Structure 1
Amino acid sequence: MEHFPIVQALCRAAMADASPATRKQVERLRDALARDGSSKESGALTSILTTADRTHEIAPSRIERSRSKAVGEVLTRSTPVPVDRETAAALADIFFPADIQQGAPLFDSIVSYAIETIVEEWAHYDAMSALDIRPSKTCLIYGEPGTGKTRLALWIAQRLDLPVISVKLDGLVSSFLGTTARNIGNLFNFANRYQCILLLDEFDAIAKVRDDPQEVGEIKRVVNTLLQNLDLRRDVGFTIGITNHPKLLDPAIWRRFEVQLEIPKPDFDLRRVIAAHFMKPVQAPDVHLRLISWFTEGTTGAEIESLVRTYKKVFTLRDDNKKGLLDTLRQFATLNSARIKTERRALLFGDSKLLFQAMRDDPILGFTLADIGEVSGRDKSTVSRQLGRGTKSSDSENVNG
Structure 2
Amino acid sequence: MEQRAQEELLILFRDAMKVGGAAIEMRLRRFASLIRPSDEALAQAVTPLVSGTRSLRRESPDIAHPVDADTKLPLVRIEHPSATRVPPLLSPALQAEVDRIVHEHRAADRLAAAGLMPVRSVLMSGPPGVGKTMTAGWLAQRLDLPLYTLDLASVMSSFLGKTGANVRSVLNHAQERPCVLLLDEFDSIAKRRDDDTDVGELKRLVTVILQTIDDWSPTSLLVAATNHGELLDPAVWRRFDVTLPFEMPALEQRAALLHSREVAAPLAEAVAAVTEGQPLSALSRAVDVARKQALLEERGFEEALITWAASSAPQSTRAARTTSKGRRDLDIYLHHCRGLSAREIAELVGTSHMTVVRVLKRLKGEVDAGA
Percent identity for Structure 1 against Structure 2: 29
Distance 1:126 1:97 in 2: 22
The answer (yes or no) to whether the contact 2:293–2:299 under 8 Å persists in 1 is: no
Q: Whose radius of gyration is greater, 1 or 2?
A: 1
Do structure 1's residue 382 and structure 2's residue 366 form an aligned pair?
A: no
**Distance change >3 Å, CA 400–CA 87, structure 1 → 2:** closer
**Distance change >3 Å, CA 343–CA 294, structure 1 → 2:** farther
Do structure 1's residue 87 and structure 2's residue 71 form an aligned pair?
A: yes
Distance 1:312 1:73 in 2: 42
| Cα shift at 1:171 | 3.6
Matches within 5 A, 1:39-58: none
Partner of 1:14: none
Partner of 1:342: 315
**Distance change >3 Å, CA 289–CA 378, structure 1 → 2:** farther
**Distance change >3 Å, CA 210–CA 113, structure 1 → 2:** same
Distance 1:400 1:143 in 2: 34
Partner of 1:176: 159
The answer (yes or no) to whether the contact 2:171–2:212 under 8 Å persists in 1 is: yes
User: Which letter does structure 2 place at the counterpart of 1:165?
Assistant: Y
Task: Give CA deviations for 1:296-341 in whole Å, capped at 9, x if unaligned.
Answer: 220111100111112212333455639x62x5544x479xx8x542
The answer (yes or no) to whether the contact 1:165–1:198 under 8 Å persists in 2 is: yes
Matches within 5 A, 1:2-401: 65=52, 69=54, 72=57, 74=59, 79-98=63-82, 101-169=84-152, 171-235=154-218, 237-279=220-262, 284-317=263-296, 319=298, 321=300, 325=303, 328-330=305-307, 332=308, 340-343=313-316, 355=322, 357-358=323-324, 361-362=325-326, 367=329, 374=336, 377-388=339-350, 401=371
Partner of 1:34: none
Partner of 2:10: none
The answer (yes or no) to whether the contact 2:271–2:330 under 8 Å persists in 1 is: no
Structure 2: state its 5+ residue gaps: 1-49, 360-368
The answer (yes or no) to whether the contact 1:138–1:238 under 8 Å persists in 2 is: yes
Distance 1:164 1:92 in 2: 9
Distance 1:367 1:184 in 2: 52
Distance 2:151 2:244 in 1: 19
The answer (yes or no) to whether the contact 2:192–2:233 under 8 Å persists in 1 is: yes
User: Which letter does structure 1 place at the counterpart of 2:271?
Assistant: I
Partner of 1:351: none
Aligned partner of residue 190 in structure 2, secondary structure: coil
Distance 1:241 1:122 in 2: 17
User: Which letter does structure 2 place at the counterpart of 1:252?
Assistant: A
Task: Give CA deviations for 1:232-287 in whole Å, capped at 9, x if unaligned.
Answer: 324553211111111111011112211000122111121111012123xxxx4444
| Cα shift at 1:209 | 0.2
Distance 1:395 1:309 in 2: 28
| Cα shift at 1:154 | 1.1
- Give the alignment's TM-score, normalised by structure 1: 0.67
Aligned partner of residue 193 in structure 1, secondary structure: coil
Question: How well do the aligned residues superpose, as a CA RMSD in angstroms?
Answer: 3.6
| Cα shift at 1:152 | 0.9
Distance 1:190 1:65 in 2: 20
Distance 2:355 2:58 in 1: 70
Task: Kindly indicate whether structure 1 or structure 2 has the higher relative contact order, using CA contacts under 8 Å at least 6 residues apart.
Answer: 2
Distance 1:388 1:237 in 2: 60
| Cα shift at 1:185 | 2.0
The answer (yes or no) to whether the contact 2:185–2:225 under 8 Å persists in 1 is: yes
Aligned residues: 313
Structure 1: state its 5+ residue gaps: 1-62, 348-353
